[in-house]
Amino acid sequence: MAKYFGTYGVRRKLSEIQPEFVSGLCAAFGTYSKSGKIIVGRDTRTSGEMLQKAAVAGLLSAGCKVIELGVVPSPTVEMECRDMECDGGVIITASHNPPDWNAMKFMGPKGVGLPKEKGEKVEEIYDSGESNRASWNQLKEVTYYFNAVTDHINKILANTDTQAVRERKPFVVIDCANGTASKLAPYLFRELGCKVVSLNAQPDGHFPGRHSEPTQKNISDLISTVTTLGADMGIAWDGDADRVIFIDEKGGYVWGDKSFALSVKMRLKEKKGPVVTTVATSNVVKDVTEAEGCKLEYVRVGAPYISEKMLELNAVMGGEEVGGVVWPEVSWGKDGLMTAAKILELVCTSGKPLSKLIAELPVYYNSKTKVDTLEKDKQAIMNAVVDKVRQSQPKARLNTIDGVRADLGGEWFIARPSGTENYVRVFAEAKSQERADELTSKYKALVEEVVKSI
Ligand code: MG
């Protein structure tokens, strides 16, 4: 079991992720990466500079060569890691967590995130105290590279139908959450010829504008600005800009699985191939993938699993339901900025407003709940839950790579253990709200029964 690593790196409150820990773990990561060339970037958090310096010190001590990018979006680091042929990377970012948190996202060659299992190898080196320690005459240098944001903008523009967007001159309101999107998004949309109104676009680790997670409640200012000003679209990122959420021209909140489905539809019309997502993703993505004659591959929940599988299958697209889409022509990481440019391109090339494009997608209803596992053995609980689901649904197609997902033809449910808390989450999707609620209450009761019996 991983001691420190979650689904993508090590994320904690600052009190539990102090510089000496960061430096030590990065020395272990540098050792794991064979003292190679490591790229480092960070988000706008107040603890970012302190922890970045600690990370760089640890990497240098392990004999690594370091390239520092400064404050940039996470997808920018993932892109440069691949393009600069680095042996790995570290991003100091706690993504959408509150301002008193911070984290390290680690990636390997090609900018593919390190999943928990590989993180455990880094932990073993850290715990053994046997990280490489370069002698004075083996220490390498730090290179400061300040063109990463421009590189990223240029790569997005090169892979977008800029002419279609520039001709249409759409009006967009963007909300950068005072996070790293502030460094790139206002310039990208200006380059695309849009009329742009920016909210929370000054980098600020106190996140004074809004909470960094783009939930419907947190981006209410953006929603009202879109409708008041009559914009074509609103766009909001999380703190490190790998995830993006859209607001349609009527002020409607577009759930991440819908924008992912639009991205898949758009991609598969131009290029066929496998698509990768997690077992927690809506059937709307499966429907649009299969409608184009392509296959949707499921992986466990966690960005690195998506990237790894995409690379293995040479997939044309990947993503997850919270608004993270991977565009392999740019990088192997979720890129909220590329996704924003492509959805805007789709609106401009189709001539349809975003609300109409969304309305053309299949409609599903969902329902979610969770069951307290009372600090009991989650693995034993899940084993029993899988058995019971198998007995109760002999005809269902089961996927047990992460909890248990049962597909019942047009509807499905999943029971999966939380990675960080003592819960089993139960989620269902169906053709009506009543049916989705019915499925969650039925399987919530099943999980509760199992918890009681363990
Ligand atoms: Mg994020």
Which residue carries 């001691």 as its tokens? 3
pLDDT at residue 2, as a whole number: 77
> Which runs of E-coded beta strand occur in 57-216?
65-71, 88-92, 101-107, 142-144, 171-175, 195-199
pLDDT at residue 410, as a whole number: 87
Please choose, from the candidates 370, 368, 361, 362, the residue with its C-alpha nearest in 3D space to the C-alpha of residue 343.
361
224 carries an active-site annotation: no
**Structure tokens given for 395:** 């005809």
> Dihedral, CA atoms, 260, 303, 215, 241, nearest 10 degrees?
-90
pLDDT at residue 421, as a whole number: 80
Which residue carries 């053309």 as its tokens? 360
Ligand 1: centre distance to CA 35 (Å):
27
pLDDT at residue 409, as a whole number: 85
The yes-or-no verdict on residue 174 having pLDDT over 90 is yes
Catalytic: which of 23, 35, 74, 95?
95
Ligand 1: centre distance to CA 174 (Å):
17
Ligand 1: centre distance to CA 134 (Å):
33
Ligand 1: centre distance to CA 380 (Å):
31
Q: Report the percentage of the chain scoring pLDDT > 70.
A: 100
pLDDT digits (tens, 9 = 90+) for 237-285: 999 999 999 999 999 999 999 999 999 999 999 999 999 999 999 999 9
Which residue carries 């960005």 as its tokens? 303
**pLDDT bracket for residue 161 (50, 70, 90):** very high
In the CATH scheme, what architecture does the domain 365-453 have? 2-Layer Sandwich (3.30)
**pLDDT bracket for residue 295 (50, 70, 90):** very high
Q: Supply angle C-alpha 308, 107, 245, rounded to 5.
A: 75
Which residues make Cβ contacts (< 8 Å) with residue 197, sequence separation at least 6?
A: 171, 172, 173, 174, 225, 229, 231
Q: Report the percentage of the chain scoring pLDDT > 90.
A: 94
pLDDT digits (tens, 9 = 90+) for 306-332: 999 999 999 999 999 889 999 999 999
Structural domain spans, the chain: 10-146, 151-359, 365-453
**In which order are the strands placed within the sheet that holds 253-254?**
195-199, 171-175, 233-237, 244-247, 253-254
Q: How many CA atoms, within 13 angstroms, populate the side-chain half-sphere of residue 94? A: 22
Give the integer Cα–Cα distance in Å for 372 and 421: 9
Ligand 1: centre distance to CA 107 (Å):
15
The mean per-residue pLDDT over the stretch 109-138 comes to 97
pLDDT at residue 148, as a whole number: 98
CATH of 10-146, one of 3.30.70.330, 1.10.10.10, 3.30.200.20, 3.40.120.10: 3.40.120.10
The mean per-residue pLDDT over the stretch 33-49 comes to 98
CATH of 151-359, one of 3.40.718.10, 3.40.1710.10, 2.60.40.10, 3.40.120.10: 3.40.120.10
Ligand 1: centre distance to CA 72 (Å):
12
Ligand 1: centre distance to CA 395 (Å):
37
